[in-house]
């Protein structure tokens, strides 16, 4: 066990404090001061001076002295530009271990993903607002399904929302050519990304742009003064 512990500590996988029932530090792992740059005399110091997050949880922490199966946890504690998870466990009848695991890399990646997700949501809302103000009928498809439709498109087909459009399983590629089997067929068939289609007795100029390998953006502009 000591060899395993030494190996883990040497690879900086986690650090620890060992404290007694008076919450005094009696031992600690090497280089733990990177999380606590204000550390001076560590042995004999009060652990709550370094981890004030433990204040108010003393009763739960003291239970760790009485049970090898009981443990106390705190997640994503911010210390000196690090994010650490804290686990407090039984060591012996006179001491417990405060194990510190560095999860900075994981937490920062989560923050970046959340920021990216928020930016995408904002961009999606902006694009939706722009598309809804257009007079053209705009929709986005994968090969077979309408994934997005602007307000004008939904109103043109007498629906209340996109879900009603999707529930009907519209196959507008059949309106362009009854032999077509997917929206990809339209993209492959029209020249200069522009063609014509009739929907509900109205004639539209159809433009299509490939967004990625499977999604296409279609714009339907009504042709006025139809014969």
* pLDDT one-digit tens code per residue, 80-126: 999 999 999 998 889 999 999 888 888 888 888 888 777 777 767 77
Distance of alpha carbon 161 from the chain centroid: 26
Spatial distance between the Cα atoms of 152 and 168, rounded to a whole number of angstroms: 17
The superfamily (CATH) of domain 2-106 is: PAS domain (3.30.450.20)
| Range(s) of the chain covered by CATH 3.30.450.20 | 2-106, 131-222
Rounded Cα distance, 27 and 19, in Å: 7
As a whole number of angstroms, the distance between CA 103 and CA 10 comes to 17
Report the SS3 class of residue 200. Answer: coil
pLDDT digits (tens, 9 = 90+) for 140-198: 999 899 999 999 999 999 999 999 999 988 899 999 999 999 999 998 888 777 888 99
Superfamily of domain 131-222: PAS domain (3.30.450.20)
**% of the chain exceeding 70 in pLDDT:** 93
Distance separating alpha carbons of residues 143 and 188, to the nearest angstrom: 12
Number of other residues whose CB lies within 10 A of the CB of residue 149 = 24
In terms of Cβ atoms closer than 10 Å to its own Cβ (0-12, 13-18, 19+), residue 199 is middle
Q: For tokens 């012996």, what's the residue?
A: 92
């Amino acid at each position: 066990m000591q060899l395993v512990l030494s190996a883990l500590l040497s690879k900086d996988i986690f650090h620890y404090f060992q404290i007694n029932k008076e919450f005094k530090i009696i031992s600690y792992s090497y280089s733990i001061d990177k999380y606590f740059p204000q550390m001076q005399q560590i042995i004999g110091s009060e652990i709550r001076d370094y981890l004030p997050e433990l204040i108010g949880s003393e009763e739960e922490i003291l239970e760790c002295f009485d049970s090898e199966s009981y443990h106390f946890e705190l997640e994503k504690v911010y210390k000196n530009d690090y994010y650490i998870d804290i686990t407090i466990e039984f060591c012996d009848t006179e001491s417990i271990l405060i194990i510190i695991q560095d999860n900075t890399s994981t937490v920062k990646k989560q923050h970046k993903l959340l920021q990216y997700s928020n930016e995408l949501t904002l961009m999606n809302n902006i694009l939706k607002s722009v598309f809804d103000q257009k007079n053209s009928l705009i929709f986005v498809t994968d090969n077979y399904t309408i994934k997005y439709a602007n307000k004008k498109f939904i109103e043109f087909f007498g629906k209340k929302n996109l879900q009603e459009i999707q529930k009907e399983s519209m196959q507008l590629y059949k309106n362009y050519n009854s032999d077509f089997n997917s929206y990809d067929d339209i993209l492959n068939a029209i020249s200069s990304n522009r063609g014509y289609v009739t929907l509900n007795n109205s004639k539209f100029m159809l433009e299509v742009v490939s967004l990625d390998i499977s999604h296409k953006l279609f714009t339907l502009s009504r042709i006025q003064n139809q014969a």
